[in-house]
Amino acid sequence: MQKALVIGGGFAGMTAASFLAKDGFAVELIEKNAELGGRNRNFSVDGFTFDMGPSWYWMPDVFEKFYNQFGYTTTELYKLKRLNPSYRIFWPEGDSVDLPVNREDIIKLFDQIEKGSGKGLDRFLNEAGIKYRAAMDEFVYKPSLSFNEYMNATLIKQSFKLDLFTSVSKHIRKFISHPRLLQILEFPVLFLGAKPQFTPALFSIMNYADMELGTWYPEGGMYEITKAFKKILDDVGVQIYLNEEVKEIRIEKKIVNEVITHEKAYHPDILVSGADYHHTEQILLKKEFRSYSNKYWEKKVMAPSCLLFYLGINKKVPGLLHHNLFFDTSFTLHAEEIYDTHRWPTDPLFYVSCTSKTEATAPSKCENLFILIPISTRIEDSPALHQTYLDKVLHRIEKHTGEKIKDSIIFNRSYCINDFKKDYHAFRGNAYGLANTLLQTGPLRPKIKSKKVKNLYFTGQLTVPGPGMPPAIISGEVVSKFIVNEQNSNV
């Protein structure tokens, strides 16, 4: 039996490990933290339970497809609830809008904001639906080692349909012009980590995910997803080692010879790293075995980092929904500060998740707030600044909801760049990987197979297809199937 070792217990590592075990490998998985899940962990304190990372459950079809391949449906693993409305957006003028769950109501909402724009949205979503299906059937499950994979007549035809070569920002403006509507349509691509002007129009699939497939929440919180993945790892017999950190990968004759942790040495036939790609290459491997140089990484556009607050509040905040986007300041300035000038933001846009609106993640009469402020990965973390930013955003939440919050905080924890580095070895403290820009999509991303070491592979949010839980799951499937195909063709 071939031995496979997987580094990292995030979604990409867990998925790769599950498929490799199902395909007959003896699989071991090493995770440096005390729990599985990678960015998707949680913690409980004083009756509050906080999801630490992801809070938007989008593209339920990707989770379902993964579970089905291991004999489960999503409902057998956890109960999903569709949030209605999907989310609330607060505007600079002090008003807000709630995104309804069905298409006709979203079209009506667009028409209310700008007469006639509903028709434009309808056409835009029809196209986005075609792209979504083409992307899921043809594109995102490709290893993307070379452009040749895309060189067949159907795919070339599809690639024009998919608008791979124009930006999503330009594309949206063909259908819609009102600034508020543009902001509603440009928000989902922010999940991909770059400005809409530099994100391929293909990613209007994110609007399809938002407006057609919906925003969901697993009863019990996002950590239920990690638990479901753990169940599958156990089913297929993956041996899991927690609190164990890989310190070095030793190579001999272009083959992984030894993987050294602070506990012991492993000798796998195949090594898959689901840890941060940059960390694996630049820290765990000697220079001569790295596929990419420091210079290469320096030029990469990372998805933003973020300043997070986990707050326990001893009162209810009626003006909030489960998901709230504070788009009440200039997005242009904030985006410049994240991607161009690399400064702590002057007046940032931010996001608030209040899971206690949906279930008891806080003691009764209390509220559980998770606040996320996107920031550049090229600034110094400064714990002294955290309180300044908390004051700024609380002031704006209070202004919009009309509810005093600051004096009602009974639990407060912040989490930022230094924590991402310490907890996940995240390159420059990125929160969710390498951005999906026009020049960092598909074959233009770091490759799933090492160019220098024969049995070393990569998975996760810094390789294909990109950031987010669904892409991480797809990445794990792509790498494991690639390895199995390679093995079969070598026999």
Ligand X SMILES: Cc1cc2nc3c(=O)[nH]c(=O)nc-3n(C[C@H](O)[C@H](O)[C@H](O)COP(=O)(O)OP(=O)(O)OC[C@H]3O[C@@H](n4cnc5c(N)ncnc54)[C@H](O)[C@@H]3O)c2cc1C
Which residues contact ligand X by CB under 6 A?
A: 7-13, 30-33, 38-40, 53-56, 245-246, 274-276, 279, 306, 308, 372, 424-425, 431-433, 460-461, 467-470, 472
**Closest CB to ligand X among residues 117, 226:** 226
Residue 458, strand partner residues: 273
**Closest CB to ligand X among residues 54, 442:** 54
Question: Shortest Cβ distance from residue 351 to ligand X (Å)?
Answer: 9
User: Cα–Cα distance between 353 and 306 in angstroms, integer?
Assistant: 14
Q: Are 205 and 191 in contact (CB under 8 A)?
A: no
**Closest CB to ligand X among residues 175, 350:** 350
Question: Shortest Cβ distance from residue 221 to ligand X (Å)?
Answer: 12
**Closest CB to ligand X among residues 107, 244:** 244
Question: Shortest Cβ distance from residue 222 to ligand X (Å)?
Answer: 8
**Closest CB to ligand X among residues 372, 390:** 372
Question: Shortest Cβ distance from residue 273 to ligand X (Å)?
Answer: 8
Output the furthest CA–CA distance in the chain (Å, rounded).
Answer: 68
The two three-digit tokens of residue 463, written as one number: 């390789």
Helix (H) or strand (E) holding 334: helix 331-339
**Closest CB to ligand X among residues 54, 200:** 54
CB contact set of 24 (below 8 Å; sequence gap of 6+): 1, 2
**Closest CB to ligand X among residues 30, 390:** 30
Question: Shortest Cβ distance from residue 97 to ligand X (Å)?
Answer: 20
User: Cα–Cα distance between 395 and 348 in angstroms, integer?
Assistant: 13
User: Cα–Cα distance between 150 and 443 in angstroms, integer?
Assistant: 10
Query: β-strands 350-353, 270-273: how paired?
Result: unpaired
Question: Shortest Cβ distance from residue 132 to ligand X (Å)?
Answer: 16
* 452-483: b (≥16 Cβ within 10 Å) or e: ebebbbbbbbbbbbbbbbbbbbbbbbbbbbbb
**34: number of Cβ within 10 Å:** 8
**Closest CB to ligand X among residues 105, 263:** 263
Question: Shortest Cβ distance from residue 34 to ligand X (Å)?
Answer: 10
C-alpha distance from residue 420 to each of 57, 273, 427 (Å): 21, 18, 9
Residue 43, strand partner residues: 50
Question: Shortest Cβ distance from residue 105 to ligand X (Å)?
Answer: 23
User: Cα–Cα distance between 85 and 88 in angstroms, integer?
Assistant: 8
